[in-house]
Structures are given as C-alpha cells and as structure tokens.
A and B are shown apart, each in its own frame.
Chain A
Amino acid sequence: MDINQVKKQWQELSTAVEDVEYAVSGHDYNVCLECDKVRDFATLMLDEGFYLVDLMAVHVTPAIEVVYQFAHFETRCRVLARAFVDDKVEMPTISDIYQGANWHERETRDFHGVVFIGHPYLKPLILPEEDVDLKPLLKAEAKLKDVDAVRRKPPEPAPAPKAKPAPKPEVKPAAVKSQEQS
C-alpha cells in the first residue's frame, strides 16, 4: 500500500483529508466525506486492504455525524472517515462492502436513529424490539454541541509535552457548508 497514492484517491472522494498527530489523538488521518461518497470510499478502503475497526455516530449540530474507523493489517494507518447524515437522517449502507458494518449500522440505528439505506436487515440489535424509537444516545437539547465545539482547537500551547506542533488547522467549516448545501 502506497500511502501517498491512497491519499490522492481519498482527496478525490472527500472534501478534506488531514494528517493528525498519532501520539496525541491515536489516529493518523481524518477524512471528511459527503454522505453519498461513503460507499465509494468504503470500496476503495477494502481494495487497499483496510479493515473496518468501528462505525459510530456522534450527535452534534448541524447533523448527526457518522464516523468510520479503518486500520490496516500491515502498516500503521488509522483513518477516521466522517460524514454527516442527510436531512432525513439517512446514510447509505456499507454493509454489503464491509459485512462487519452490518451490526455496527444496526447498533447506530438503535442508538442514534440513523437509517442506513440499503441495509438488508435494519432491525434493533442491542435494544429490544419495542424500543425501536428510543434512540438513547441522542443528546438532550441543552447538552447538544456544535460540531466545532468537539473539534481539536488548532493553535494552542501543545497540551502534551511529547506532542509535536499541534495538528494542522481544521477544515471543518467545509464539512458544515456541505451539510448546508445538501
């Protein structure tokens, strides 16, 4: 796997690709996607030999953000891909590309109510059937934060002594803008 080449391909698919300091945050790259590119991105990742570590949702404004975590068996390359759900709280499924996503998507549906379009069996997994509309991990109005509030603040006296210069500036506004466009 040639990381530069892969990165180039990511850039084609995504709105932003940023390097992250591994020692501070525990992952290497942040990739911001639009929700219709998620499937293409997953296909690319599978072809490059990445495995799906995790799939989760974070409830922020303006919309719920779905975070895919990928890593590679051979080299250390931990990628977080993020995409905001569309205004119907929907997201295309990747469970036919990464079968392991099947349960993660069902769980996200349980906890956050994100509907994955094309999922073969989107029934409650962790929660009982009758709690289908419970969505327990959605934040209460008072606690709900904007997406910028949970992003790493760029300029800061390095928090950890061993951390090298703080990660590169965030490109988040772009993601938000894209959300507004959709």
Chain B
Amino acid sequence: MKSYFSELFTGAWSLILGLKVTIKALVSPIVTVQYPREKIVVTPNYRGHIDLIKFADTGAHKCISCGSCMRECPSDCIVVEGEKREGVKGKVLTIFTLDFTKCSLCGACVEVCPTKALDYSNEYELAGSTREQFHFDLLKRVEERE
C-alpha cells in the first residue's frame, strides 16, 4: 500500500520534471540552421572530392601523370593518362578523371602524390540526377578555375 502511493507520487514528480525541461526548451532559442537560406561555414579541412591544385606561381597544376594515385586508389576511381611531348620534360597530363560515384573519400591519392598536386575540394552540395554528373574531369576543372 505504501509503495502504491509512493510510486504514484515519485512517478508524478518525474513527469513534472520532464515538463519543466520541455517548457524551458520551448522558450529557448532554436539551434537549427535553415539550410538553403542560412549556411554554416564549412571547415577548410573538410574533405570533399579531390581536385588538382592550381598553383599561383605557375598558373598550372603540378601533376606529372605518374599514376600513383590511380594505383593507390582502393576503389579504382581515378584515371590518369599522360603523353610525351616534344620539348617538354616528363609527361604531360592529358586525362585526369575521377569517378566520384565510387570514391570513398579515403584520401590515399592525396597522400601518395609525389608532387602534392592533389587536394580536397570544399564542395559538399553535391546532388545530381545521373551518375555521369559525378564523373568529374579534374583536368578541365583545374583549367577552368580562376
């Protein structure tokens, strides 16, 4: 009998405590961000898909088309091709594509690159309606970039 009433009262008190928490929350400011209208600043360390870096001093990328990234990639999503050209030392990059649908963002390619020519982009708003939209031509991207 005693436990019958004590349970009733402790139970009721626990319910009141809960109500106190929610009413406090009701009057406190919201914490969410209204995404398309407001955006939070993405950390510069964010690892999006990879990109070739355009170096300011030369105005070009530094890829020597050695293919290390291609070999290192666990998902085989990078294709690099280069060709020998007259009067140029080393190989010239002709194709550098990334199949982002397969990429798992592990970063192995960036770390293995001997010339540090690769970096992560900061793009996170990636949505598309076809797979082909995510077959990035990184060479074209680096050439188009300012």
Whether the complex brings A and B within 8 Å at their CB atoms is answered no
Interface residues, chain A, with chain B CB atoms under 8 Å away: none
Interface residues, chain B, with chain A CB atoms under 8 Å away: none
